[in-house]
Amino acid sequence: MRLSLDRLLQSQGVGTRKYCRELIAAGEITIAGECVTDARRTFETEGLTFTLFGEDWLYRAQAYIALHKPVDYECSRKPSHRPGVLSLLPDAFSWRGVQPVGRLDHDTTGLLLLSDDGAFIHAQSSPKRHVPKVYVATTHDPVTPALIAQLLDGVQLHDEPAPLSAVRCVALAAHQLEIVLEQGKYHQVKRMLAAAGNHCTALQRVAIGPLTLAALGLGEGEWCYLDPAQLSS
């Protein structure tokens, strides 16, 4: 696909078309070593890299991002009480409409996907996809075989028509367990633990399907683009 330079920059979240034209006219954009000052000049977008303010940017038709969400950040484009997760990313992502795929509570940490691809967001958020999500929960009371059995057998939550059960659940330590869910209900891990007679004091999502936080190597607040192999998984 070929785009004029001002439209190309706008699509990458650089800013409005007017602002992009101003940057181009000021000689701030370099492509293949050439300073380009004509906003109407067109370029083939596939594999294109442009340099802005001395930083190289690879053109991406859509953005697919993994973030290690810290505690006390809201998964919302319009946060109300705490900073939003988009504040952890470059401003360009907000300009191009990147948003979280699903949500993590403000006090839950771990793997969060973000994108500006509406079809991808819908597919990954749909419970019909049965994408397993792996959580590590720290509990107030000790993890017992009876607790594990309850979570695997299913517990009844308020306003749910049927009991909800874990796909897998194993004890990791005296006060820590790993639980795998597919449903993605509101506050599900915390509510399931409460229904089983315990209390969640800390929660981290460590994997979504085969994509793991450990393999990505992200520290809290760090992010990365997902490569094609990770996306295909």
Catalytic amino acids?
Answer: 105
Distance CA 64, CA 83 (A): 21
| Gap between the Cα atoms of 217 and 35, Å rounded | 36
Rounded CA separation 57/12 (Å): 9
> From the DSSP assignment, how many helices (H) and strands (E) are in the chain?
8, 15
Three-state SS for 127? helix
Contacts with 193 (C-beta within 8 Å, 6 or more apart), sequence order: 137, 139, 151, 199, 200
Q: Report residue 27 CA to chain centroid gap.
A: 34
